[in-house]
Structure 1
Amino acid sequence: MKYKIFGNSFPAVSIKMDRGESIYTQSGGMSWMTDGIRMDTNTHGGFMRGLGRMFSGDSLFMATYTAERDNQEISISAALPGEVHVIEVGPGKSYIAQKGAFLCAQQSVQLDAVLTKKFSSGMFGGEGFVLQRLSGRGVAFLELDGAVCEYTLAPGERLKVDSGNIAYFEEQVGYSVETIKGFKNVLFGGEGLFLTVLEGPGKVWLQTMTAADLATKIVPYIPVSNN
Structure 2
Amino acid sequence: LTVFFQKKMGAGFFGGEGFIMQKLSGRGMAFLEIDGSAVEYDLAPGQQLIVDTGNLAMMDETCSIDIQSVKGVKNVLFGGEGMFNTVVTGPGHVVLQTMPLSAFAGSIASVLPSKS
Q: One fold, TM greater than 0.5?
A: yes
Which residue pairs with 1:153 in the alignment? Answer: 43
- Whichever residue aligns with residue 65 of structure 2, its letter is Y
Question: Could you tell me how far apart the structure 1 residues matched to 2:11 and 2:37 are?
Answer: 25
* Deviations, residues 42-100 of structure 1 (Å, cap 9, x unaligned): xxxxxxxxxxxxxxxxxxxxxxxxxxxxxxxxxxxxxxxxxxxxxxxxxxxxxxxxxxx
In structure 1, how many angstroms separate the alpha carbons of the residues matched to 2:36 and 2:75?
A: 26
Counterpart Cα distance in 1 of 2:109 and 2:35: 18
Name the one with the larger helix percent.
Answer: 2
Q: Secondary structure of 1:212's match? A: helix
The answer to whether structure 1 residue 225 and structure 2 residue 115 are counterparts is yes
Spell out structure 1 runs of 4+ moving beyond 6 A.
none
Q: How many residues align?
A: 116
State the 1:122 CA deviation: 2.0
Distance, in Å, in 2 between the alignment partners of 1:172 and 1:120 is 19
| Structure 1 vs Structure 2 CA RMSD | 1.6
Q: Is the 8 A contact 1:126 1:162 kept in 2?
A: no
Unaligned runs of 5+ in 1: 1-110
Alpha-carbon offset, residue 182 of structure 1: 0.2
Question: Which residue of the partner structure matches residue 54 of structure 2?
Answer: 164
Structure 1 residue 201: Cα displacement: 0.8
Q: Give the whole-Å Cα distance in 2 for the aligned partners of 1:191 and 1:182.
A: 13
Higher normalized contact order (CA 8 Å, seq sep 6+, divided by chain length): 2
2:72 to 182, 197, 214: 182
Match of 2:8 in 1: 118
Using structure 1 for the length normalisation, give the TM-score: 0.48
TM-score scaled by length of structure 2: 0.88
- Preserved CA contact (<8 Å) 1:121 1:129: yes
Cα distance change on mapping 1:179 and 1:136 into 2, 3 Å: same
Runs (5+) with no aligned partner, structure 2 = none
- Structure-2 separation of matches of 1:134 and 1:214: 24
Contact 1:126 1:196 in 2 (8 A): no
How much does 1:113 deviate? 1.6
Corresponding position: 1:212 with 2:108: no
Q: How does 1:1-227 map to 2 (within 5 A)?
A: 111-226=1-116
SS in 2 for 1:190: coil
Larger radius of gyration between Structure 1 and Structure 2: 1
Distance 2:111 2:30 in 1: 36
What's the offset of the Cα at 1:120? 1.8
- Rounded Cα–Cα distance in structure 1 between residues aligned with 2:26 and 2:37: 27
Residue identity (%): 52
What secondary structure is seen at the aligned counterpart in 2 of 1:135? coil
